[in-house]
Structure formats: C-alpha cells, structure tokens
Amino acid sequence: MCNLYSIVSNQQAIRQLSMAFRDTTGNLQPMPGVFPDYAAPIVRNTAEGRELAMVRWGMPSSKKALLDAATRRAEKLRAKGKPVDFDELLRMEPDAGTTNIRNTTSSHWKRWLGVEHRCVVPFTSFSEFNRDAGGDIWFALNEARPLAFFAGVWVPQWTSVRKMKTGEETIDLFGFLTCEPNAEVQAIHPKAMPVILTKPDEIEAWMSADWSEAKRLQRPLPDGSLAIVSRGVKRDPPAHPEQGSLI
C-alpha cells in the first residue's frame, strides 16, 4: 500500500503532460513528502474541463468499514458502563479516508469509476515501507525522478468526520488505484503497487475512455521499469532542478 509519495516536478510540466487547461493551485511548491489526509495536486475531470487542483488524499471508506469501527467503539464504551447512541456514534465515526483502491468490482467503488470522477495524480517518486529493507523505500522511473502519474479517482464535496476534533467536514477527496506489483516493488512490498501512467496516450485513455477500456490500465509496470532511488527517509527531494518530463 502506497501511503507516501513525492511530487517535485514543475507546475508547467504537470499541466502540459496532463493537458489541464485550468489551474487553481496558485504557486505550487515542491512536495517531497505527501501524506494521507493532506491536500495534494491532482488533475481532475470537471464540468468545466480538465483542472489542476489541490484535493485531500483519502477517498470515503466503505459503509462496512465504518460500521465495523463504530461497533468496536460501542463495545468498548458499553464495557465501561457508558450509554451508547449507536446511530449518532456511527454518524460521527472518524474516517481518515481510503488512500488506495484495488477492488474496482466493489459496489463501493463502481459509482466513482466513470469519466466524470477520474483524475491523475502527479508524482516523481513513491515509497513502500519495509522495516527489514531500511524503512521507507523510494521508487522512481529512474534516478532523475521524471514526472509520471498515478491513475486516480476523486469525489466532490463529501461530508464526513475526518477527525474527531474537527467534526463533520465537506471536502473534495481523491485516491489512486493499485494492482499486482512488478518485480522491483514485489521484492519490497509483495501485495501491491500503484497504477502508474508513463505515456501521454495512457493519461488520455484514463481521463477520457469508457471503463471497459480504461480498466486495462490497472496493471503493473513491466519488470525493470522502476529504480530504488532512496531509503529510510520520509521525504524524497528533487534530484535535479530541471525535473519535469516523462521518459
């Protein structure tokens, strides 16, 4: 599961490669460490066209996940002899979000697989954690860390409780797809890797094709496509200041 990545490419390169004609991010600064439940740049389909925007990472979790979490919390409260209003407990159950999406046949995710909810997430490197291998292991297309994109989905104005202290919030959210790992990632994280788009035609297909075609992109990169560029750190800064294009 990828829960940490870096985007240190320049803003113009992101717009150009994704064909985003609107940009609401302002002066986009390098982000050498992007963590779950924080805002990050995505290029999303909107009614007004393709837009580069800052959106919070973590799609809504399933009803079952929230029900199970609320049930566990209710059991702990009852064990302490405290009264429980389960409906209210469930409504206020914190949901920090689901960062990675694997099972696209699930009814929970199917509603957001149409073109109107698709996005691409720019990145220059991503981390998979393996304590025995040195902690955070950073992968990129090569040592220069060229720009590429995760295949993602987004949802507008979703109301939920992200944190107990802030209560209900209504915000835009995104996540990205995962798939079987290729050889490089499997050696570190055998369960999954992000779905990565490295070519302009792949980006265009993800953003505009029917799901019957777009779903074919949920596949690992060929073996040998990724390099380990850093180990044991939570931030992966740019290798070269001129970063900004795909290989």
pTM of the predicted structure, to 2 decimals: 0.91
Instruction: Show the domain range for 41.
Output: 5-60+99-231
Whether residue 169 contacts residue 161, with contact meaning beta carbons closer than 8 Å, is answered with yes
Condensed to tens digits (0 to 9), the pLDDT of residues 27-76 reads 999 999 999 999 999 999 999 999 999 999 999 998 888 888 889 989 89
Number of domains in the chain: 2
Instruction: Examine residue 237 and state whether it is found in any structural domain, yes or no.
Output: no
Quick one: 90 and 164 in the same domain? Answer: no
SS3 104: coil
pLDDT digit string (tens) for 90-106?
A: 888 888 899 999 999 99
Angle at 39 between CA 36 and CA 40, to 5 degrees: 95
- In terms of Cβ atoms closer than 10 Å to its own Cβ (0-12, 13-18, 19+), residue 198 is middle
CA distance 170 to 163: 12
242 has a pLDDT exceeding 60: no
Contacts of 131 (CB under 8 A, 6+ apart): none
Same domain? 191 vs 160: yes
